[in-house]
Amino acid sequence: MLPFDIEYYRPDTIEEAVKLYRRLRENNQEPVFYGGGTELLTRARLQDVHYDAVIDLKNIPEVRIHGQKGDWLEFGAGLRLTDLADQNLWPLLTATADRIADHTTRGQITLGGNLLSTIPYREISLPFLLMDEAEALIATDNGIERRPMADLTSDSFIKPGEFLVSVRVNGGEAKGVAYRSHKMTRQDWIDYPLVTVAVIKRPDGSIRAAFSGWAGFPFVSSEVNRILSDTSRSPRRRAQQAVSHMPVKALEDLHGRREYREFVTEYTLAQILDELEDD
Amino acid sequence: MNIIGTSVPRKEAPNKVTGRARYTNDINVPGTFHAVMVPAHQAHAQIVSIDVDEAKKVPGVKAIITGDDVSILCGDVTEDRPPLAKDKVRYWGEPIALVVARNEAAARRAASLIKGRYKSLPVVNSIADALDKKAPLVHEKNGSYTVATPPVTPKKSSNIADEANVTKGDMDKAWKASDVKVKVHISLPQIDHAAMEPRIAKAEILADGRVLIHASTQAPFEVQKLLAKYFKLNPGQINVTAPLVGGAFGGKAGVQLEVLAYLASKAVDGQMVKIVNTREDDLATSPLGMGLEADIALGASKDGRIQAADMRFFMDIGAYTDSAPRIARAIAAQCTGPYAVANVHTDVYCVYTNHTYTTAWRGFGHMPMTFAVERAMDELAEALKMDPMDLRELNAIRPDDITPTKARLTRSNLGDLPKALTHMRQLIGWNGGRVEAVAEGKVRVQGVAAFWKTSSSPPNAVSGALITMNSDGSVNLSIGAVECGPGTKTTAAQILAEKLRIPLDRVFIHEDVNTQVDPEHWKTVASLSTYMVGRAVLDAANDLITQLMALAAAVLKCSPDDLDYGDEKIFVRDDPSIYLDFKDLALGYKYKEGDSIGGQLMGRGKFMIRHLNLLDQHTGHGRPGPAWTVGVQAVEVEYDQNTHQYRLLKAATVMDAGKVLNPAIASGQVMGGMNMGLGVASREGIFYDTEGRFLNHQFRLYKVMRMGEQPKQYLVEFIETPQVDSAYGARPIGEHAVLAIGAALANALSRAANVSLNTLPITPETIWRERRAH
Amino acid sequence: MREFTQPEQVSLTINNEPRTVVAYPGETLLYTLRGDSLGLTGAKPGCENGDCGACTVLVDGVPVKSCLVLTAEVEDHHITTVEGLREAPIQKAFLDHMAFQCGYCTSGFLMLGHALSQHVDRADEGRRTEWLRSNICRCTSYQEIADAVTETCSSLE
């Protein structure tokens, strides 16, 4: 239950939603765009966020888009994580989605909600961060803008009043890779990650890895990718090197100490590299 | 009849699968006010001021209470806890104010606007902090508080809230004479009960002065007595109703929200006020289970016989004592585990810290105590190069042995641990504790641990039962024990049905307890309900049978001695064709002519614990409970030597149940207990940061076992050595399956990983860390 | 565009019966169901944070944690609560396997089990575990619940 009053709006078009946000702001209200609600409702209950109005985006057709169009695989921001798994359009995305939260909650969390979460993990971003051609379609005052998914964690990726409509990747690229997505936790199947690692092996044999849980944001490192792709070294050696060349220090929190995160990341990477070598 | 020993379903089962079972928060009177606590966000601080001005302006807010408005101190042993923090905050999450409003949203909004201003104090964040010579004091007044229930021995100008000691034999001499000695240091975090129903209380003060309380509680009669005492009321004025409880595990045996609900109602002219814990409140603000540090030293002769046990237990009781002194004495009394040890010296300390205060937790301190003892036992087995199962069998306590507190043991009051050990060898397929390789980098290993426990109940604990008859000859049973899940009410109904020789569906037992209509039952704790209620029910049944016989004898013109009963009839023993139906006697017997005798028949039964005493203050000697329940638990795990991850394959319990009254319910209790104990051992624990802030007060971060994480196989076996003074010989079994299973897991994994795992929870990181330190 | 700015009547289909109820725009479905007007207290608040699943109901046949959804979002949808299970096989299985003790988490697990038994891929043990992991039970060993759900799903095949 929300301890404060809100207004609820469910616009039918992108334009309506953008205009509504502007109107509410002009009215000195604090609107938020609303996807699955799992984060906005729990944080509001604890009163660590406050808003006056929610703009539920789920009725906008573009936000529900899910399929292949030309070269693109398109995923609406309002898709539930279970929708991704049910259609299984992109198996790597399914593999990552299937380890977020629990099954019932995955039926409520949306793709957009997880990508733009204030909780640091945002694991569903990992497959997109691994692609050369991955872009976000963002509704702005000036219509739909395309922004690279690589900028996801930068402040300019999405500004107040804008919302994520959908994300798309090049289907050929996305499906032309071997992949693994492993979530490692402190102990429990249902938990935040110590580290989630999504790894792809591209047709040219090069390796890319994306990490969540290691730091306060998901990331890809070209230095780490270079190390992982160096097949002159053993998987174990590459994993060791990668861990010692991460662009940021590992977190130290109640899920695990820094050195333990390093240990887990290392053996997970080594195992994945081993497996991908055999693929 | 054969109702005893039969797997009948819980009486209330149909309601529980249709959503019709009603818990405290499911029954609401329109117009009920809501009270919300404001938690402190400091672990140790002087309260400079509490600003409530903004909160008062929130529409719908009716009253705001702070510690300055309340003069009482609470505590069932030592009265050291203000219901709302006063002058000082002693743990993160301690309530500093209470907002009463027309609705929950208004109360929560207002609560968020209340700001405490504090002067921070150094935080006592661990047992070591608390025992440091220069430690800040959690309670400056320690040693001067009113003691409600002696004995308790606080040490002034220290953080030691209480100390309990037990000595037996000549420890020093025996230690010197021991051939093999082991010492183990144990460290266990505080844990939560995590009952699925958050704690809740409602209070209303009627115009006639009566106080109505509805609460999710294991102790409605304790609520009644303590409220009367705190607020100088007549206990009879206070009517406490306890509906079905959604899990308790000791966490609902204390009295906390009931006091706040009463204060809140008083502040709004006696209106009905409800206070419900959020999950965050339930973890951080309401009491937890204690943490423990322990130093265990065991000395044995070469043949493996334990000669000496020297033990120090330091309980992290958090900021207030609550039941801790009772738990300390329970630990002292059973400190050796279920082993015969001639020479014992044990000290148990209740240590104040700036952590959330603690209360009873399933097993009343025996689970952490057992962990310490059973880890030491495995270390001893290792040092002796002995099979851990053999070591336990060799030292198992037996009838005619005496306990650490010098209570004499009999076959009836102890049961048969050696037999349980023998059965366990079969049940788990005991392999001697060998580490067996199953695949590259993977090993399989078993671990074992044994337990014993008695009630550690007050020597004057009472229980009662009332039976009334309905016009059709069926009966209503009224008892004071609360239904928290273990099937207490069903068991009582089974005992009555068996005794009256009637089908179970002819016994009606209502789900709620109401202190005004139900006979007193001490508390629904200590796994004692079956013993105490069972005896009271038998007493009431005998009373009813006597009355049925007497009335029938008058009508049938014979002596009651000529009569017997069965099939809802009283009949003449040598000629059953001469009989009267229960229904014709239930409300008095009506002759053909219409004149009648007898009136409604009602059975009264009572029971009082006998021959217990408070342990001697100096030697610790005394008798802590009517009987012990003994058993042994084992696990089999598969451990990955590279990642340190492990899988639970089997968990097994063999317990001496005396007599199994309801096999399905009993094995459910045991399986659930093992699951809970394994959860505690493998993932649970409260995290405080360096400032004493409670970090994991949600189920996202306080992890409990979920589906799929339980062992692949649960094995349960009961042996039956009757406790002769209990109804049908049954022993307490409710708590016991949590007691040793965590120790069995630690024993297995310690051997698998070749390190000593003496802290909980055991996560892969714990093992990894120990291996690195090795 | 649906605009819902103050308390108003909302139409829901609950347990196959059309109902209208006055709700606030910020009301969770759990709150609406348990309120005085509907009185469907079978769904339990256990954490109101989406962690425990005691409040699970079905929306159009799919399990939803009713503490994590606004009533406004499920307007005109079909909601099934434990009170709407009428002699469903899962209820009997829970009784037969004693798949509960205190009963507080039971409604949520029943709704998961019921939805699974209606689900096309119900035979898969992995899927059953994955669904049932969404909820917490503190009394049982989970084995009883798993057995009850397995039996229900397999007997319907």
Q: What is the pLDDT of residues B93-105, one digit of tens each?
A: 999 999 999 999 9
State the pLDDT at residue B613.
85
Whole-Å CA distances, A241 to A210, A245, A246, A267, B430: 15, 6, 9, 12, 44
Residue with tokens 């203000």: B82
Length of chain A counted residue by residue: 279
Shortest distance, CA B701 to any CA of chain C (angstroms): 10
Question: What's the longest Cα–Cα distance across chain A?
Answer: 62
Chains that touch A (3 or more CB pairs under 8 A): B, C
pLDDT in tens, B336-389: 999 999 999 999 999 999 999 999 999 999 999 999 999 999 999 999 999 999
**Phi and psi (nearest 5°) for A47?**
60, 35
Sequence-ordered list of residues with C-beta below 8 angstroms from that of B614, at least 6 positions apart, any chain: B150, B151, B459, B622
User: Distance (Å, rounded) from C-alpha C28 to C-alpha A78?
Assistant: 19
Cα(B668)–Cα(B654) distance, integer angstroms? 13
Angle, helices C143-155 vs C89-96, to 10°: value is 140
Q: Helix or strand or coil: residue B349?
A: strand
Residue ranges, comma separated, of all CATH 3.10.20.30 domains in chain C are: 8-82
Q: Give the per-residue pLDDT at A156.
A: 92
Q: Closest partner residue to A260 among B104, B706, B768, by Cβ?
A: B768
Tell me the longest C-alpha to C-alpha distance in chain B: 92
- Give pLDDT < 50 ranges for chain C: none
Asked whether the predicted pLDDT for residue A45 surpasses 80, the reply is yes
- Give the CATH number of the domain where residue B39 resides: 3.90.1170.50
- B382 contacts B447 by C-beta, under 8 angstroms: no
Tokens of B101: 């409003």
ipTM surpasses cut 0.85: yes
Q: What is the pLDDT of residues A46-88, one digit of tens each?
A: 999 999 999 999 999 999 999 999 999 999 999 999 999 999 9
Residue ending a domain, choose from B269, B284, B299? B284
Pairwise CA distance, residues C143 & B710, whole Å: 8
Q: Please, which pLDDT band fits residue B619 given cuts at 50, 70 and 90? A: confident
pLDDT tens column, A211-247: 999 999 999 999 999 999 999 999 999 999 999 999 9
Q: Are residues B472 and B398 in the same domain?
A: no
Q: Is A58 on the interface with C (CB under 8 A)?
A: yes
pLDDT at residue C120 in the model:
64
**Could you report the per-residue pLDDT of B504-517, keeping only the tens digit for each?**
999 999 889 999 99
A6 touches chain C (CB under 8 A): yes
- CATH superfamily membership of C8-82: Beta-grasp domain (3.10.20.30)
Is C98 close to B699, i.e. CB distance below 8 A?
no
| Helix locations, B268-323, DSSP H | 279-284
Chain B interface test: which of C98, C124, C132 (most B C-beta within 10 Å): C98
> Coil, strand or helix: which one is B329?
helix
Interchain pair B17, C95: CB under 8 A: yes
Query: Which residues of A have a CB under 8 Å from any CB of B?
Result: 1-5, 45-47, 186-192, 254, 256-257, 260, 263-264, 267
Q: Is the CA virtual torsion B534, B536, B538, B541 positive or negative?
A: negative
Contact check, Cβ <8 Å, C146/B671? no
Share the mean pLDDT of chain A. 97
Q: Residue B497 carries which side chain, given as an amino acid letter?
A: A
User: Based on the domain organization, do B681 and B545 belong to the same domain?
Assistant: no
Looking at the fold, whether B601 and B507 belong to one and the same domain comes out as yes
Is there a domain that residue B314 lies in?
no
Distance CA B276, CA B285 (A): 12
Contact predicate B105/B56, CB 8 Å: no
How many Å apart are CA C44 and CA B248, to the nearest integer?
Answer: 16
Sign of the torsion formed by the C-alpha atoms of B738, B743, B746 and B752? negative
> CA-based diameter of chain C, in Å?
49
Residue-level pLDDT at A55: 98
Phi first, then psi, for residue B502 (nearest 5°) are: -125, 160
Cβ(B233)–Cβ(B283) under 8 Å?
no
Cβ atoms within 10 Å, residue A279:
8
How many domains would you assign to chain B? Answer: 3
Question: Per-residue pLDDT tens for B738-760?
Answer: 999 999 999 999 999 999 999 99
Do B406 and B538 reside in the same domain of the chain?
no
* Residue B536 and residue B500 share a domain: yes
According to DSSP, residue B429 is labeled: T
| pLDDT above 90 as % of chain B | 96
Phi/psi region, residue B317 (left: phi>0; alpha: psi -120 to 50; beta: rest), is alpha
Chain centre distance of CA B83:
22
Query: Of the candidates A2, A7, A36, which has its C-beta nearest C5's C-beta?
Result: A7
Please measure the distance between the N-terminal and C-terminal CA atoms of chain C and give it in whole angstroms: 43
**Domain check: are B478 and B597 in the same one?**
yes
Phi-psi region of C45 (alpha: psi -120 to 50; beta: other; left: phi over 0): beta
In the structure encoding, which two tokens stand for residue A180, read together? 């693994």
Query: In terms of domains, do B654 and B729 share one?
Result: yes
The pLDDT assigned to B238 comes to: 98
Q: Which DSSP category does B67 fall into?
A: G
Q: How many CB pairs under 8 A join B and C?
A: 151
Are B110 and B244 in a shared domain? yes
CB-CB contact of B670 with B733 (8 Å): yes
- Asked if B302 contacts B180 with a C-beta cutoff of 8 angstroms, the reply is yes
Closest chain A C-alpha to B654 CA, distance in angstroms: 28
Q: Is there a domain that residue B2 lies in?
A: no
Q: What is the CATH number of the domain that holds B486?
A: 3.30.365.10
Looking at domain C85-155, what is its CATH homologous superfamily?
[2Fe-2S]-binding domain (1.10.150.120)
Q: What is the structure's pLDDT at B596?
A: 95
The pLDDT of residue C157 is 59
- Chain A: give the shortest CA distance to residue C95, in Å: 24
Please list, in sequence order, all residues whose beta carbon lies within 8 angstroms of the beta carbon of residue B248, skipping any fewer than 6 positions away. B193, B195, B216, B218, B482, B484, B485, B524, C102
Order the strands of the A53-56 sheet from edge to edge. A31-34, A53-56, A7-10, C2-4
The two beta strands, B507-509 and B513-514, are: unpaired
* CATH superfamily of the A178-278 domain: CO dehydrogenase flavoprotein, C-terminal domain (3.30.390.50)
- Whether the CB-CB separation of B313 and B294 falls below 8 Å is answered with yes
Chain A residues touching B696 at Cβ < 8 A: 254
Is residue B179 assigned to a domain?
no
Q: Which amino acid is at B443?
A: V
**Taking CB atoms and an 8 Å cutoff, what residues of chain B touch A45?**
278
Q: Which of C10, C29, C66, C70 to mutate to test the interface with A (most CBs of A within 10 A)?
A: C70
Calpha distance A198→A179 (Å, rounded): 7
pLDDT in tens, B189-246: 999 999 999 999 999 999 999 999 999 999 999 999 999 999 999 999 999 999 999 9
Say how many C-beta atoms besides its own lie within 10 A of residue C127's C-beta. Answer: 15
How far apart are the C-alpha atoms of B695 and B688, rounded to whole Å? 6
B371 and B503 together in one domain: no
The reply to whether residue A192 touches residue B765, judged by beta carbons under 8 angstroms, is no
How far does A218 lie from chain C, in Å, by closest CA? 23
CB within 8 Å: B195 and C143: no
Residue of A nearest to B688 (CA): A254
Range list for CATH 3.30.390.50 in chain A: 178-278
Asked if residue B547 and residue B469 are part of one domain, the reply reads: yes
The CA distances from residue C151 to B592, B671, C85, C148, C156, in Å, are 56, 19, 17, 5, 9
Percent of chain C, pLDDT > 70?
96
Whole-number Å distance between alpha carbons of B45 and B88 = 6
Per the structure block, which two tokens stand in for B651? 């968990």
**Three-state SS letters, chain A:** CCCCCCEEEECCCHHHHHHHHHHHHHCCCCEEEECCCHHHHHHHHCCCCCCCEEEECCCCHHHHCEEEECCEEEEECCCEHHHHHHHCCCHHHHHHHCCCCCHHHHCCCEHHHHHCCCCCCCHHHHHHHCCCCEEEEEEECCEEEEEEHHHCCCCCCCCCCCEEEEEEEEHHHHHCCEEEEEEECCCCCCCCCCEEEEEEECCCCCEEEEEECCCCCCEECHHHHHHHHCCCCCHHHHHHHHHHCCCCCCCCECCECHHHHHHHHHHHHHHHHHHHHHC
Peptide bond into A61 cis (omega under 30): no
Contact of B773 with B758, CB cutoff 8 Å: no
Residues of B in contact with A46 (CB under 8 A): 280
Residue C1 contacts A, CB cutoff 8 Å: yes
First to last CA, chain A: 49
**Containing structural domain, residue B445:** 363-455+627-773
Q: Give the pLDDT of residue C119.
A: 80
CA distance B85 to B697: 20
By percentage, how much of chain B surpasses pLDDT 70?
100
Burial B430-450, CB ≥16 within 10 A → b, else e: beebebeeeeeebbbbbbbbb
What is the model's pLDDT at position C155?
A: 80
Give residue B774's pLDDT. Answer: 78
Give the pLDDT score at C121.
65
Q: Which two tokens stand for residue C23?
A: 């709700």
The CATH number fitting domain A7-56, selected from 3.40.50, 3.30.43, 3.30.460, 1.10.1660: 3.30.43
pLDDT, residue A24, reads: 98
Quote the pTM value: 0.97
The DSSP call for residue B402 is B
Structure tokens at A230: 């160096």
Range(s) within chain A of domains with CATH label 3.30.465.10: 61-171
pLDDT of residue A267: 98
Task: Render B581-618 in DSSP notation, one character per residue.
Answer: EHHHHHT-EE-TTS-EE----EEEEEEE--S--PPPTT
B336 lies in some domain: no
Whether B289 maps to a domain, the answer reads no
Query: Do B598 and B672 share a domain, yes or no?
Result: no
DSSP B715: E
| pLDDT value of residue A1 | 77
Q: Cβ contacts (< 8 Å) between B768 and chain A: which residues?
A: 260, 263
Query: Region A187-199: what's the mean pLDDT?
Result: 98
Res. B110 pLDDT band, cuts 50 70 90: very high
Report pLDDT for A4: 93
Residue at token pair 């009648």? B596
Of B575, B608, B641, the one marking the end of a domain is B608
In the CATH scheme, what architecture does the domain A61-171 have? 2-Layer Sandwich (3.30)
Which positions in chain A touch B700 (Cβ < 8 Å)?
A: 191-192
